[in-house]
Structure 1
Amino acid sequence: MKPIHAAAALAIGLASASNASAELIWQDFSLTYLNGSDYEVGDEDRQVITVEHASGHSWGDTFFFMDRLKWDDGTTENYMEFSPRLSLGGVTGSDLSFGPIKDVLISTTWESGENFDNLLYGVGFSFDVPGFNYFNANIYKAENDLSDDDEQLTLTWGLPFSLGNADFLYDGFLDWSSASDTNASEMNWTSQLKWNIGKYFGMKSKLYIGTEYAYWNNKFGIKGADERNPAFLLKWHY
């Protein structure tokens, strides 16, 4: 594994800050079940259990998830990401908003899977987009264990809407990374369209049913490994 540089120290510092006296503004926990049959790179059929936690603080925000994947042949693996961001407006007490941009942040991500750890660091922006719960952009420099270093752009969004008395959420992410000597440029656009059926059972928490669709070109930087994968989704926020 490559040496842990300033990005790792920053990520660890931000993680520690979330446990300090800084104000917790909001947080969300969720558990997701996915079942798809068109995965690339490995067994086509997989089931995935995902645990997620997101939080907003006076100093910034965090996002964490861990996937437990089970292939149809019985193979299992784990993958996780932890993404703390430091709000420059929050820590300086300044209003950094301009145009559609609400805040400017220092962004970091730690990606960890089977026998690798990647560190990403850069700058992030939070946008004020009408109708969206959130819309974020992060521009990273990536230090990768199993391939050459590259650059990455990540967009995340959440768009709630209603049809009659039915409540829906369309959310997801888009990752684009540059090419290097060891990997092709890749683009992963994964989004979820979900219907909150929890309200019909008198649940205060959200229980979603829907689908996740992964549109992934050159998956894992492998030229020609293009994934088009719809998956059944069940997601509970608690």
Structure 2
Amino acid sequence: MKRAFIISALLTAQLSAFSTTNIQYLYGNFEGPTFLDTQSGNKQTVTIEHYRTFEYGDLFTFADYVHAPKGLRFTDKKNDLYGEFSPRLSLNKIADIAPSEGLVKEWYTAFQYNGSSTYHAWLYGIGSDLNIPGFSVFGLNLYRKIQDVGIDTYQLSANYYVPLGERWHFEGFSDWTTRDFLSQNQLLFDLAPNIGISKGKLEIGTEWHYYHENSYHSDNDVFQAMIKYVW
């Protein structure tokens, strides 16, 4: 799917009230055999995420800046930048159909662009928001994935958020393709009330990062320390 079409669709839609942005710092020891690992084990990541709704859908986008002091696993690069841009158009809102109280709350057409200096992928498909007990958010998207490195494939993506009392929550995402599986899940504590700032603005915790590549049976299994500021 051409990026120009996606951007045009977003710019012609009236933005609504809700949006949120955060910045994260993560530190972990990546010593495995995958392309996500490093030559020394040490890796630091700064992530900026943004989510907003608009009149006919929603948008999630993020950028990761990675620093590996002795280089990434298969290159001498010490720094890397990667991002994703993921808009969805709500079929319910376009057809003026109220969200359902059943399992599938809302249907979407879903698009995504993934990019770095050495890799580009374009994804298109169908998405949904589900009503799952215990989850305040559960999204599921099925894409056709066209990429310039490796063979084209399909991707099933899930994103979720679970409140765990007043100050704890669990959130994350998982991506399955015919070639690999990636899951990043965060357990976070709301530190903001302890230092006198607004609730939910500052969180600390850990991220479990798991990656499996099917062809080489290689795994990347890392817990990272993290801090997150929201505005």
Indicate whether the TM-score tops 0.5. Answer: yes
Residue 38 of structure 1: CA displacement?
2.5
Q: 1:143 to 1:104 in 2, by over 3 A?
A: same
Any idea what the Cα deviations from partners look like across 1:49-78, whole Å, max 9, x if unmatched? 001100112210000100000002260010
Residue type at the aligned position of 2:6:
A
- Which position in structure 1 is the counterpart of 2:192? 198
Matched residues, number: 219
Counterpart check, 1:111 vs 2:110: no
Q: 1:51 aligns with which of 48, 53, 66?
A: 48
1:32 aligns with 2:24: yes
Alignment map for 1:81-100 (pairs within 5 Å): 81-95=84-98, 97=100, 99-100=102-103
Identical-pair percentage: 27
Q: Which moved more, 1:95-104 or 1:194-203?
A: 95-104
Q: Which residue of 1 aligns with 2:75?
A: none
- CA drift of 1:210 comes to 0.3
Write the letter of the residue equivalent to 1:83: S
**2: distance between equivalents of 1:150 and 1:142?**
5
Q: State the secondary structure of the residue aligned to 2:60.
A: strand
2:67 to 63, 67, 70: 70
* CA distance in structure 2 between the aligned counterparts of 1:195 and 1:237, rounded to whole angstroms: 13
Preserved contact between residue 101 and residue 131 of structure 2 (Cα < 8 Å): no
Q: Give the structure 2 partner of residue 182 of structure 1.
A: none
Cα 1:25/1:117, change in 2 over 3 Å: same
Q: How does 1:11-30 map to 2 (within 5 A)?
A: 11-17=6-12, 20=13, 22-30=14-22
**How far does residue 10 in structure 1 lie from its aligned partner after superposition?**
3.6
Instruction: Report the alpha carbon displacement of residue 96 of structure 1 after superposing the two structures with TM.
Output: 5.7
Specify the alignment match of 2:218 in structure 1. 225
Alignment partner of 1:60 is 2:60: no
Q: Report how far residue 222 of structure 1 moved.
A: 5.7
Kindly provide the CA deviation profile for residues 133-175 of structure 1, in whole angstroms up to 9, marking residues without a partner as x.
210000000000111100000000011111xxx5111000010
Aligned to 1:175: 175
**Structure 1 counterpart of 2:88, which letter?**
R
- Give matches, 1:105-184, under 5 Å: 105-162=108-165, 167-178=167-178
CA distance in 2, matches of 1:11, 1:230: 35
TM-score (norm 1): 0.86
8 Å CA contact retained: 1:193, 1:211: yes
Give the TM-score normalised by the residue count of structure 2. Answer: 0.89
Read off the aligned partner of 1:190 and give its amino acid letter: Q
1:80 equivalenced with 2:75 (yes/no): no
Give the equivalent residue in structure 2 for 1:211. Answer: 206
TM-superposed deviation, 1:9: 4.2
**Aligned equivalents of 1:58, 1:133: Cα separation in 2:** 21
Q: Name the SS for the 2:218 alignment partner.
A: coil
Contact 1:139 1:154 in 2 (8 A): yes
Once the two structures are TM-superposed, the CA of residue 83 in structure 1 deviates from its matched residue by: 0.3
Amino acid corresponding to residue 140 of structure 2 in structure 1:
A
Question: In structure 2, what residue type is equivalent to 1:35?
Answer: Y
How far the C-alpha of 1:208 sits from its partner, in A, is 0.6
Change (3 A) 1:70 1:13: same
Q: 1:7 touches 1:121 (CA, 8 Å); kept in 2?
A: no
> 2:135 aligns to what SS in structure 1?
coil
